Amino acid sequence: MIIGVDGSYAILKNNTTEGNYSKIVVDAIAECYVRHKIYVYTPQIEHRGPATTLAALANVTVKQPRKTLNKTLWLNWNGMVGELTRHHVNVYHGLAGRLPLRIRKSHVRSVVTIHGLAYKHFAGDYGWWERVKRAFFARQACRLAYGIVTTSRHTRDDLVNLMGVDPDKIRVIYPAVDKRFLGNAIAVELDAVRAKYKLPEHYILVVSSLLDHKNIKAVLQAMTQMHDQDISLVLLGKETDYYTHVLRKFAQEKRLMHRLLHITRAHAIDMPPIYRMADVLVAPSRYEGFGLTVIEAQACGVPVITTSGTAQQEAAGEAALFFDPDDTATLASHLDRVLTDTALREQLIAAGRQNIERFTYKRLADELDDYYHQLLK
């Protein structure tokens, strides 16, 4: 089988959810189905690292437009469709929630992954143009695609209820946990990362974009209610106006600034050690398309606390403690328990390691391969 994929996020926006997902999908298929040939299409290559890594896989070829005035139009409109035909692609997978708008003019069977509809639930976190753009591409992709992949049942239900998509057209296929987070780290590596980012000895970890619906303020509020008034919070996410005007201001008012470390960006190879040295990961979001940070923490042997009634609970299985997004008292109680109850910590860590067996490269590749063949029939 010859598979084409949208590689723009994997190469140009590789630190996003869509970028991480794209790399995992390509790696999983390339590793588990060496007989398949994969073309990764991107309008340009700005970051040599991801492009070089993907191109190093024996059955993967990274493709750019040969000549075009507008490379974005090449990816989203018509230019790439000609490339798919020229490369005899059987299935094209839009890994970042969009498809070329003229994909139906080709013989190619198209699949799109929709990662979530947060912009419909929390419009205030997105500018009007961002909302319009996301809604347009999602709607068109769902209309054009022969099949739709969602990374959770939660997102599948959103597509059905908010966009009227036929549920029979949707397949829920969970992502895999990135292999970077598996295995063990040596002490020297951990010490080097701790020194590099000035990490405290003990800390709560939150890895998230800093937007209102991510509910990070709930963690700061819980810190004021905990018995442990020494534990620090390491917040990893790009700085936003919401961080500056709401989160930072709240931390200053509650005298938490000395316990707050904000890391705007960490190198990909440093992420596993940052997870492993955390006492606990909190994933407090009100809405996620899945919950990659949850399974990444579990893979690193870190206890997880996350929100109930979300796709993050779906990802965590029975291997986490849960709280209502508005119930900061329960979050504070969970944090105190995880930090002091050794038996509970070990129970959560063991359950987490068992839970991530649901998210292997082999399982992801098998389910995608089965779906591709189904669509080709």
Residue 77: is its pLDDT beyond 70?
no
What pLDDT shows up at residue 68? 59
Strand order in the sheet with 232-236: 260-263, 232-236, 203-207, 280-283, 304-307, 321-323
Q: Report pLDDT digits (tens) over 100-150.
A: 888 888 889 999 999 999 999 999 888 899 999 899 999 999 999 999 999
What pLDDT shows up at residue 70? 61
55, 63, 333 from 37: Cα distances, Å: 12, 13, 51
In the chain, where does the domain assigned CATH 3.40.50.2000 lie? 2-176+360-376, 179-358
The listed CATH number (3.40.50.300, 3.40.50.2000, 2.30.30.30, 2.60.120.10) that belongs to domain 179-358: 3.40.50.2000
What pLDDT shows up at residue 19? 87
Which range has the top average pLDDT, 59-63, 178-182, 189-193, 361-365? Answer: 361-365
Looking at the domain that runs over 2-176+360-376, which CATH code has it been given? 3.40.50.2000
Q: Report pLDDT digits (tens) over 252-310.
A: 999 999 999 999 989 888 999 999 999 999 999 999 999 999 999 999 999 999 999 99
- In the chain, the percentage of residues whose pLDDT exceeds 90 is 73
- Check if the beta carbon of residue 282 is closer than 8 Å to that of residue 306: yes
In the DSSP assignment, the letter for residue 146 is S
| HEC per residue, 274-329 | HHHCCCEEEECCCCCCCCHHHHHHHHCCCCEEEECCCHHHHHHCCCCEEECCCCHH
Q: Assign 85 a pLDDT band (cuts: 50, 70, 90).
A: confident
- Check if the beta carbon of residue 41 is closer than 8 Å to that of residue 6: yes
Q: Report pLDDT digits (tens) over 201-257.
A: 999 999 999 999 999 999 999 999 999 899 999 999 988 889 989 999 999 999 999
Plot region of 92 (φ>0 → left; ψ -120 to 50 → alpha; else → beta)? beta
What pLDDT shows up at residue 353? 95
36, 76, 376 from 31: Cα distances, Å: 10, 28, 22
pTM (2 d.p.): 0.91
Q: Report pLDDT digits (tens) over 87-113.
A: 999 999 999 999 988 888 888 999 999
Mean pLDDT of the chain: 91
